[in-house]
Structure 1
Amino acid sequence: MNTPINGNDLLALGYEQGSIMGIALRINKKRTGYNRAEMMTHYAAVLAQPENYLDDKVFGKLATAIIEKSNEKPEDFIPLNPNPSAYASYGAEHIEQGAIKQMEIAMQLPVTVAGALMPDAHQGYGLPIGGVLATKNAIIPYGVGVDIGCRMALSVYDIAADFYFENEATFKRELVAHTKFGAGHGFHGQYKTDHAVLESKDFETNPFIKNLKDKAWSQLGSSGGGNHFVEFGILEFAQDDAVLNIPKGTYVALLTHSGSRGFGATIAGHYTKLAKDVCKLPEVAKNLAYLDLHSQLGQEYWLAMNLAGDYASACHEVIHDKIANALGATVLAKVENHHNFAWKEVWNGEEVIVHRKGATPAGKGVMGIIPGSMTAPGFLVRGKGEEQAINSASHGAGRQMSRTQAEKTITKTDMKTILKDHGVTLIGAGLDEAPMAYKDIHQVMAAQQELVDVVAKFTPKLVRMADDGSRED
């Protein structure tokens, strides 16, 4: 059997984890004309004598990278701090080692002031998902994340729970009619929506940003792929909430999760590459390359990041307005928060840049939404302003299975059974988003009682996600 070559195979040949292995594995995904045994022979030979492969069409790039890396010296890189400060961690016993390792590396950056790891944390690129990092005058594109400004938005309607169950078909029709999913998908012609965000002067920051405006316009009001969703559910207030002015009771609510679509992803990729060019960090920390906020590149990224955040918010506004109008519903309250972003905040008496990659702002009195899964409840919360957590909380339950693992181990029957058991109607979604792929939201909430107070519980009933479980672009 011609089994695919994986990282462990290359480690056995003497390759090390990092960019060289990444290049080697990408070669293996292409049609090279070699069988597995021949590929392994070439991999070993390239590593031993890369100069013999510099002009090779298949292995030339790998050979060049190996030679360049062999000539690197420690003084070519910005040194990491060998004695970093400790960071606060919540629910650490349920956080995978990969995420912990990534947080430890982030704490060693010379610009790091403080850090915290949320209970839904899992491994990502650069900063772990669920990682919070405060830096001094530096912005890390991969500390913000690829889906810049990804957020939750909740509309509470003047509709009683009973009305939903009596009219589910109506809610389903409007959900399908006024949402659009799928990586790369958008609207065209008369179906495109205008919004004030498109008039922002920040689209004129530079030609790169300006050229993304048409993409942003076409995808405005869409939700993309991955773990993004639009769902109806029942929101239960166990007591009156004076701040939101909502009496105790149950209400129909709309909950959305998505970000800045292809617009934000393109910005993230572009400025991460530029950051790596100007901020040479050791291999282990290269995805944490940062930009000085006093530099032109730092200012460009800051403007672009904030524009992407505004754009993500506009996408949610379009969706919520369309559905409220279609239902003829009055919105009693709306709560929104983002969780892939960086803010200028004061921490421990000094201004810092707080990166929250998959973490919810939870300053004192700040409202947020922490979802569970398509069958587990989500929670409307109010922050307690815990300084050790850098005024943050989790952004959800967090994955306990990779997408690949979920697709291999969860069956369609498993998925249908759990949906039926919880009375949830699902439109779209792949097995990679099955509820079993996520941590127990109750366990996550129990680990962050110091960080937030629960205001209301949201129970999903009608969920729409990308039809094919597609990844976000």
Structure 2
Amino acid sequence: MGRKLSGRDFIKIGFPQNNTINIALGQVNRYKKKENKNNILEEAKQVLLNPESFIGDGIWGKVVESMIKQVEVKKHQLNTNRVPFSIYGEDAIDEQTKYQLFTALKLPVAVQGALMPDAHYGYGLPIGGVLATDNAVIPYGVGVDIGCRMSMSVFNLPANFLKGKDHQLLNILSEHTKFGMYDTHKIKADHEVFSREEFKNIPFVKGLLDKAYKQLGTSGSGNHFVEFGIVRLTETKPEWRLEPGEYIAVLSHSGSRGLGANIAKYYTYLATKQCPLPSNAQHLAWLDLNTHDGQEYWLAMNLAGDYAKACHDDIHRRIAKALGKQIAFTIENHHNFAWKEIINGKELIVHRKGATPAAEGQLGIIPGSMTTNGYIVEGLGNTESLNSASHGAGRQHSRAACKQRFTKSEIKKELSSTGVQLIGGSVDEAPMAYKDINAVMQAQSELVKVLGSFTPKFVRMDK
């Protein structure tokens, strides 16, 4: 018997002569390349004898799905009419961004949409786009950086604690935060997220475990940051155990690193193969949640979201240890994710790509730029916005435009005038690249209530 498996080998043991064989060969070549041919065929026989017991299996689940009910691949057309939607701060949003949402609103699976006041053009859904779908998840509706999020840890330290500590605080940021693709902590931390079943049961995700372990507690490039600043609490919650006033806080912005990026890329590829769409909508390809791949992406996405949280927790733990102080409380939220939520009595998949969850009473962080205030907010549960708000100030100039428009000396002048000290950062993340955060907050006054503000003072970004 030759070493390499062929379709004929599967036919001999009784596999149906259809696309199931191609799927089986694809899975085996991808995940069982080094295994003995006879062992694989013995396993395949068990799949034939008892397919139900292999439903959801990382390798054979897709094969079984093809045996029982093949996934229908057909070219979808967009609907003529849009589903209901709302736009906030419409005057400050360009037409290209609006039309990107309008395309998404015509998807056959779309139910309702919204556009936040910080919205700008992206891939698939616009940044600041919210879309509710029926039993379908759109990988590019979640975004490449799955679980990109904000996390703010507040210390029971008065604002004047910062005085005279410039060198110490900049040194903490320099020594205890890591940015970009390759910079990692010398002393790695373990975390319970690495024991998750998804790392064992989904072969593609299993292959990303080493990368995830190395990158724990690190931040991405671009607009990701870690910063010390001053929180002004105008209202407090009993669980915070702090009176209204001014305190020291650490604010971080980052996502799921290489783990999330690879998951997004892989499942987007699967979605485009299973769900061909017109060229202007191809980035909106979805996975049906009743399929093996849809269920697998959902598990992988949630894992990436929890890993992103673990990264922030590790960043804040390292900084608190270096500062020698205990964290009083933390507020955090995803803003690149999809959730199962009840909308008008029905469970839908709500994608928020660059949008903050703002259900009634839900806490979140909406940052400005590195030289303007961010805000602690409490959701008002506005159903027209699909219980969402902006995820920041939003860009008014693209990265390419920033390189043509601004100089490093202009950025230094802006930083100096606002008393902000920066490690790293590039021209494409100039503070002037962003919209007026106060105008954005005004445009969503019916979506969130402001409980406090955060003023950056010491900022670390990738170089």
Which bracket does the TM-score occupy, shorter chain normalised? 0.7 to 0.9
Verify the 8 A CA contact 2:369 2:431 in the aligned structure 1: yes
| AA partner of residue 398 (structure 1) | G
CA distance in 1, matches of 2:156, 2:207: 42
CA distance in 1, matches of 2:126, 2:194: 32
Task: Report the 3-state secondary structure (helix = DSSP H, G, I; strand = E; otherwise coil) of the residue aligned with 2:247.
Answer: strand
Task: Report the 3-state secondary structure (helix = DSSP H, G, I; strand = E; otherwise coil) of the residue aligned with 1:459.
Answer: strand
Within the candidate set 250, 262, 267, 1:266 is matched to 262
1:46-73: per-residue Cα shift (whole Å, max 9, x none)?
xxxxxxxxxxxxxxxxxxxxxxxxxxxx
1:74-96: per-residue Cα shift (whole Å, max 9, x none)?
x9621211012231000010011
CA distance in 2, matches of 1:239, 1:344: 30
Match of residue 278 from structure 1: 274
Task: State whether structure 2 residue 207 is matched by structure 1 residue 211.
Answer: yes
CA distance in 2, matches of 1:241, 1:214: 39
Match of residue 373 from structure 1: 369
1:224 Cα shift? Answer: 1.8
Change (3 A) 1:289 1:180: same
CA distance in 2, matches of 1:320, 1:365: 25
User: What is the aligned length?
Assistant: 391
CA distance in 2, matches of 1:200, 1:164: 40
1:165-219: per-residue Cα shift (whole Å, max 9, x none)?
232221111111110012343345xx22111111111112322110100000010
Structure 1 unaligned runs (5+)?
1-74, 468-473
Verify the 8 A CA contact 2:76 2:275 in the aligned structure 1: yes
1:25-49: per-residue Cα shift (whole Å, max 9, x none)?
xxxxxxxxxxxxxxxxxxxxxxxxx
CA distance in 1, matches of 2:398, 2:95: 14
Within the candidate set 97, 100, 115, 1:99 is matched to 97
Task: State whether structure 2 residue 286 is matched by structure 1 residue 310.
Answer: no
Q: TM-score, normalised by structure 1?
A: 0.81
RMSD of Structure 2 on Structure 1 (CA)? 1.2
> For 1:22-101, what aligned pairs fall within 5 Å after superposition?
77-101=75-99
Task: Report the 3-state secondary structure (helix = DSSP H, G, I; strand = E; otherwise coil) of the residue aligned with 1:114.
Answer: strand
Q: TM-score, normalised by structure 2?
A: 0.83
1:313 Cα shift? Answer: 0.3
Match of residue 154 from structure 2: 156
1:318-338: per-residue Cα shift (whole Å, max 9, x none)?
010111111121211110100
> For 1:289-304, what aligned pairs fall within 5 Å after superposition?
289-304=285-300
Task: Report the 3-state secondary structure (helix = DSSP H, G, I; strand = E; otherwise coil) of the residue aligned with 1:126.
Answer: coil
> For 1:346-365, what aligned pairs fall within 5 Å after superposition?
346-365=342-361
CA distance in 2, matches of 1:145, 1:388: 22
Within the candidate set 438, 443, 451, 1:442 is matched to 438
1:243 Cα shift? Answer: 5.2
Match of residue 175 from structure 2: 177
CA distance in 1, matches of 2:396, 2:380: 27
CA distance in 1, matches of 2:235, 2:376: 13
Task: Report the 3-state secondary structure (helix = DSSP H, G, I; strand = E; otherwise coil) of the residue aligned with 2:450.
Answer: strand
Change (3 A) 1:276 1:462: same
> For 1:429-468, what aligned pairs fall within 5 Å after superposition?
429-467=425-463
Verify the 8 A CA contact 2:156 2:242 in the aligned structure 1: no
CA distance in 1, matches of 2:230, 2:300: 36
CA distance in 2, matches of 1:453, 1:243: 18
Task: State whether structure 2 residue 246 is matched by structure 1 residue 250.
Answer: yes
CA distance in 1, matches of 2:179, 2:120: 25
Match of residue 62 from structure 1: none
> For 1:89-168, what aligned pairs fall within 5 Å after superposition?
89-168=87-166
| AA partner of residue 363 (structure 1) | A
Within the candidate set 424, 427, 434, 1:428 is matched to 424
Verify the 8 A CA contact 1:184 1:224 in the aligned structure 2: no
| AA partner of residue 137 (structure 2) | I
Task: Report the 3-state secondary structure (helix = DSSP H, G, I; strand = E; otherwise coil) of the residue aligned with 2:76.
Answer: coil
| AA partner of residue 146 (structure 1) | V
Percent identical = 55
Within the candidate set 284, 290, 296, 1:288 is matched to 284
1:456 Cα shift? Answer: 0.6
CA distance in 1, matches of 2:292, 2:398: 37
Within the candidate set 226, 233, 241, 1:230 is matched to 226
Verify the 8 A CA contact 1:184 1:262 in the aligned structure 2: no
Match of residue 404 from structure 1: 400
| AA partner of residue 113 (structure 1) | V
Verify the 8 A CA contact 1:241 1:455 in the aligned structure 2: no
Match of residue 394 from structure 1: 390
1:239 Cα shift? Answer: 4.0
Match of residue 326 from structure 1: 322
Task: Report the 3-state secondary structure (helix = DSSP H, G, I; strand = E; otherwise coil) of the residue aligned with 1:342.
Answer: strand
Task: Report the 3-state secondary structure (helix = DSSP H, G, I; strand = E; otherwise coil) of the residue aligned with 1:166.
Answer: coil
